[in-house]
A and B are shown apart, each in its own frame.
Chain A
Amino acid sequence: MEKNVALKDTTLFFGFAAVILLLPILLEPIGANYPDLLQKIAIFGIFAIGFNILFGLTGYLSFGHAAFIGIGSYMTLWSFKLLTMNVVPAIMFSVILAGVFAYIIGFVSLRRSGIYFSILTLAFAQMCYSLAYSVLTPITNGETGLQTRAIRKSSETSLLDGDIRIIDQAFGVQELGVPTTNFFGMAMSGYTGFYFCAVLLIVCFFIAQRITRSNFGIMLKAIKSNQNRLNYTGIHTRPYLITAFVISGMYAGLAGSLMAATDPIAGAERMQWTASGEVVLMTILGGVGTLVGPVLGAGIIKYAEQKVSSWNEGILESFFSFLPETLQHFMANLGVLFVGEGWHTTLGLLFMIIVIFLPGGIMEGIRRIGAKFSRKKPEADTNAAAPQPAE
């Protein structure tokens, strides 16, 4: 039995790694094999995996995870501006800083549970968002957003408009205009950028898998199923929760950092609470508490966002051209609510449909279909992977 689980995990991990690395080929038939989208899928995959460590395992619904995305992005940009265009230090600093913030926010928010926890994290995220737009503009550059610039000519230029890049300068890197971000010389754009993110995604997946299977992960699941009983048994649950919160915050910080690394601009709108809502949706769509689900959800949402928001009325007209003319216009007018600018309507509807009909997400759907076709009930598996709605 024990061996079986380990073997299954290894297979799952290698299968996952292979799928992620082959994404550019696999997604070609549906026209999603361009690096920009692939990068986004990988980055949001990381974000969703991290979110799932908190929400999926412990059942604590955080509505403030976008704050860590913002923190990671800003930190990365500052590393680019002050130290070097190499992404490695930027990512390290971002993850550490996000971890520190997660510890502080988690320390306070985790004193309460249930909906109070959601509101507290939401309050903290909104605080970060408001501050980024107001008092912290010297650091965040307000609505314009923080960007990398050319090396400043004189020390009077503000750091927002001219960079110094101490390390790059010490190594005598020649810069023409604004340089691109790189990983030891490899530019972080196009497929290089995607593979960089993909490798990190696989590493993150591995860590998440280890966490889920470890004693620590089992403790987190125990917190989800009955925290009171744990307390009565004499187990202090808070340290476990804080650790989970910090880990998921660091995942979000990494995701934010990668967002800034592949596209070096950071704005506060990344921290808005609708962004936190998006990651919740990704996790739920894929399957709460499952390992692959969140990545699947992230992929689907990002792909759909790209596709649906590029459609317009003309495309709809031709799509419904098999219908009689009046009906065609009617359908096109109805459809225009959901495409292009109206992508968020689709997102919201999707959100509702998933929560109403399939709280376990796509993975639950697959499992149900699988159970219909196979005679024997995989009892052990249902216990481990059955995504229960969180309390």
Chain B
Amino acid sequence: MDAIFLQFLNGLDKGGAYALIALGLTLVFGTLGVVNFAHGALFMMGAFCAVTLQRLLNISYERVSETETDFLGKPLKEQVPYLQDIVGTDTAAWIGDYSVPLSIFLAIIVMGIVGVIMERGLIKHFYKRPHADQILVTFGLAIVVGELIRHYYGANPIPQSAPNSVSGSANVGEWFGLGPNVIYPWWRLVYFAFSATVIFGVFAFLQFTTFGMVVRAGMQDREMVGLLGINIERKFTIVFALAAIVAGVAGAMYTPILPPDYNMGMDFLVLSFVVVVVGGMGSLGGAVLAGFLLGILQSFASMQAVQNLIPGISQIIVYLIAVIVLLTLPRGLLGRKGVMED
């Protein structure tokens, strides 16, 4: 029972990441009609926003220490971050500690700009092209982004740490009366809460704002919205930027769980595409549902008992589910009629 509950929790944060990526992917697909193979790269760029912020905060100069000396009695040279001089030691330490959550703001700005540039510069020209062309051009872009990251940040994963206050483990079992063995890292709980908030925010934005209404109308019938005198292309840019931001913040917050490297985008891309297809192309609810579902199933499949029963299942469960779902429910779990039916 404890183990099952733990695996369920394990699935939640992974599922949260899948859901956030898939949400943007399906949003772009549903409105713009573009299959974006570079969406994983956007997730990775978000993760590297966190890395960049941490590096920026640590830019420092060298000065002669006033208090400490080395073993010969000479004053020791020490590295002092500029930040420390600007805001003072305590605040600097606090900012450094919270660099990952703070990187969300950097990610929002950077990813927003990237999203707009990408849509205006590249994606715009591919609205009318076949899906195969869209897949190929964004695939090429994903390779380029990944390689540039590798060039500037190196090939090794760069670990990021969660803030001290949430770096330990939560005794989740106690909350639910399950005994003391059920402990779980705080940060993963935070991530789950964060992803739930973002998902809720995106849904609320689409449901309760005029802009969201136009976007939803665009998902239903793009041509009609255009005929009603709404500049739908302008909205498309914003939708794409929104999707990029969602992927970006998902990536930035994920860094303490998985140290980012240049391959991260590709790994998550394949999985999140599977998520979108299982959930149903162009269905936002489906993407979220399938994201959590696959995340949880994946973590259950990695349990030892299951592994003994069916060896290797944890590696292929996601793909297996995708195959089964696509063959039995061609539209995916919550797919709408008329979307992507050739």
Q: Using CB atoms and an 8 Å cutoff, list the residues of chain A in contact with chain B.
A: 59, 61, 108, 111-116, 118-120, 122-124, 126-127, 130-131, 133-136, 227, 273-274, 277, 280-281, 284, 337, 341-342, 344-345, 347-352, 355-356, 359, 389-391
**Beta-carbon contact of A391 and B312 below 8 Å:** no
Q: Which of B129, B135, B146 contacts A61 (CB 8 A)?
A: B135
**Beta-carbon contact of B316 and A130 below 8 Å:** yes
**Beta-carbon contact of B131 and A123 below 8 Å:** no
Could you tell me the distance between the alpha carbons of A375 and B29 in the complex, rounded to whole angstroms?
44
Q: Does B139 contact A (CB under 8 A)?
A: yes
Q: Of all chain A residues, which has the CB nearest B129?
A: A389
Q: Does B258 contact A (CB under 8 A)?
A: no
**Beta-carbon contact of A119 and B274 below 8 Å:** yes
Q: Of all chain B residues, which has the CB nearest A135?
A: B312
**Beta-carbon contact of B130 and A352 below 8 Å:** no
Which segment, of B65-73, B102-110, B317-325, faces chain A?
B317-325
Could you tell me the distance between the alpha carbons of A112 and B341 in the complex, rounded to whole angstroms?
10
**Beta-carbon contact of B137 and A391 below 8 Å:** no
Could you tell me the distance between the alpha carbons of A351 and B146 in the complex, rounded to whole angstroms?
14
Q: When A344-B143, A345-B147 are in contact, do A119 and B273 touch as well, CB less than 8 Å? A: yes
Q: Which residues of B contact A119 (CB under 8 A)?
A: 273-274, 277, 322, 326
**Beta-carbon contact of A351 and B137 below 8 Å:** yes
**Beta-carbon contact of A284 and B131 below 8 Å:** no
Could you tell me the distance between the alpha carbons of A339 and B150 in the complex, rounded to whole angstroms?
13
Q: Does B132 contact A (CB under 8 A)?
A: yes
Q: Which of A61, A342, A349, A351 contacts B132 (CB 8 A)?
A: A61
Could you tell me the distance between the alpha carbons of A274 and B133 in the complex, rounded to whole angstroms?
17
**Beta-carbon contact of A130 and B137 below 8 Å:** no
**Beta-carbon contact of B144 and A349 below 8 Å:** yes
Q: Which of B122, B130, B142 contacts A389 (CB 8 A)?
A: B130
Q: Which residues of A contact B234 (CB under 8 A)?
A: none
User: Which residue, B129, B270, B330, has most C-beta atoms of chain A within 10 A?
Assistant: B270
Q: When A127-B319, A342-B147, A344-B147 are in contact, do A391 and B131 touch as well, CB less than 8 Å? A: yes
Could you tell me the distance between the alpha carbons of A389 and B137 in the complex, rounded to whole angstroms?
13
Q: Which residues of B contact A130 (CB under 8 A)?
A: 312, 315-316, 319
**Beta-carbon contact of A112 and B326 below 8 Å:** yes
**Beta-carbon contact of B139 and A337 below 8 Å:** no
- Chain B: minimal CB distance from A246 (Å): 19
- Chain B: minimal CB distance from A140 (Å): 12
Contact residues of B: prevailing secondary structure = helix
Q: Which residues of A contact B277 (CB under 8 A)?
A: 116, 119
Could you tell me the distance between the alpha carbons of A133 and B326 in the complex, rounded to whole angstroms?
25
Q: Which of B151, B311, B319 contacts A124 (CB 8 A)?
A: B319
**Beta-carbon contact of A120 and B322 below 8 Å:** yes
Could you tell me the distance between the alpha carbons of A61 and B277 in the complex, rounded to whole angstroms?
16
Interface residues of B in 59-87 (CB under 8 A from A): none
Could you tell me the distance between the alpha carbons of A273 and B319 in the complex, rounded to whole angstroms?
14
Could you tell me the distance between the alpha carbons of A344 and B141 in the complex, rounded to whole angstroms?
11
- Chain A: minimal CB distance from B299 (Å): 16
Could you tell me the distance between the alpha carbons of A107 and B150 in the complex, rounded to whole angstroms?
39
Q: Of all chain B residues, which has the CB nearest A288?
A: B132
**Beta-carbon contact of B132 and A273 below 8 Å:** no
Q: Which of A131, A277, A389 contacts B316 (CB 8 A)?
A: A131
17 new A-B contacts at CB < 8 Å, known A337-B151, A345-B144: A59-B132, A111-B327, A116-B277, A118-B135, A120-B326, A122-B273, A123-B274, A126-B319, A127-B315, A127-B319, A127-B320, A134-B312, A227-B342, A345-B143, A351-B140, A389-B133, A390-B130
**Beta-carbon contact of A135 and B315 below 8 Å:** yes
**Beta-carbon contact of A115 and B319 below 8 Å:** no
Q: When A112-B330, A115-B340 are in contact, do A391 and B132 touch as well, CB less than 8 Å? A: yes
Q: Which residues of B contact A342 (CB under 8 A)?
A: 147, 151
Q: Does B125 contact A (CB under 8 A)?
A: yes
- Chain A: minimal CB distance from B143 (Å): 3
Could you tell me the distance between the alpha carbons of A59 and B319 in the complex, rounded to whole angstroms?
23
Interface residues of B in 295-318 (CB under 8 A from A): 311-312, 315-316
**Beta-carbon contact of B130 and A355 below 8 Å:** no
Q: When A131-B315, A134-B312 are in contact, do A355 and B326 touch as well, CB less than 8 Å? A: no
**Beta-carbon contact of A115 and B141 below 8 Å:** no
User: Which residue, A119, A227, A347, has most C-beta atoms of chain B within 10 A?
Assistant: A119
User: Which residue, B132, B135, B137, has most C-beta atoms of chain A within 10 A?
Assistant: B132
Q: Which residues of A contact B312 (CB under 8 A)?
A: 130-131, 134-136
**Beta-carbon contact of B316 and A351 below 8 Å:** no
**Beta-carbon contact of B35 and A348 below 8 Å:** no
**Beta-carbon contact of A359 and B133 below 8 Å:** yes
| CB-based closest 6 A-B pairs | A351-B140, A135-B312, A348-B143, A130-B315, A348-B144, A352-B140
Q: Does B100 contact A (CB under 8 A)?
A: no
Q: Does B136 contact A (CB under 8 A)?
A: yes
Q: Does B93 contact A (CB under 8 A)?
A: no
A-B residue pairs in contact (CB < 8 Å), sample of 7: A108-B323, A119-B274, A124-B323, A126-B270, A134-B312, A135-B312, A281-B136
- Chain B: minimal CB distance from A190 (Å): 33
Q: Of all chain B residues, which has the CB nearest A137?
A: B312
Q: Does B266 contact A (CB under 8 A)?
A: yes
Q: Does B148 contact A (CB under 8 A)?
A: yes
- Chain A: minimal CB distance from B280 (Å): 11
- Chain B: minimal CB distance from A238 (Å): 14
Q: Which residues of A contact B129 (CB under 8 A)?
A: 359, 389
Q: Of all chain A residues, which has the CB nearest B315?
A: A130
Chain B 36-51, CB-CB to A under 8 Å as 1, else 0, gives: 0000000000000000
Q: Which residues of B contact A134 (CB under 8 A)?
A: 311-312, 315
- Chain B: minimal CB distance from A231 (Å): 12
Q: When A124-B323, A351-B137, A356-B125 are in contact, do A391 and B151 touch as well, CB less than 8 Å? A: no
Could you tell me the distance between the alpha carbons of A337 and B151 in the complex, rounded to whole angstroms?
7
- Chain A: minimal CB distance from B36 (Å): 11
Q: When A113-B342, A349-B144, A356-B125 are in contact, do A120 and B323 touch as well, CB less than 8 Å? A: yes
Could you tell me the distance between the alpha carbons of A113 and B340 in the complex, rounded to whole angstroms?
10
Could you tell me the distance between the alpha carbons of A349 and B94 in the complex, rounded to whole angstroms?
41
**Beta-carbon contact of A348 and B141 below 8 Å:** yes
Q: Which residues of A contact B130 (CB under 8 A)?
A: 389-391
User: Which residue, B122, B142, B143, B277, has most C-beta atoms of chain A within 10 A?
Assistant: B143
**Beta-carbon contact of B147 and A355 below 8 Å:** no
Q: Which residues of B contact A61 (CB under 8 A)?
A: 132, 135
**Beta-carbon contact of A337 and B148 below 8 Å:** yes
Q: Which of A108, A115, A126, A227 contacts B327 (CB 8 A)?
A: A108
Q: Which residues of A contact B322 (CB under 8 A)?
A: 119-120, 123
Q: Of all chain B residues, which has the CB nearest A123?
A: B319
Q: Which residues of A contact B340 (CB under 8 A)?
A: 114-116
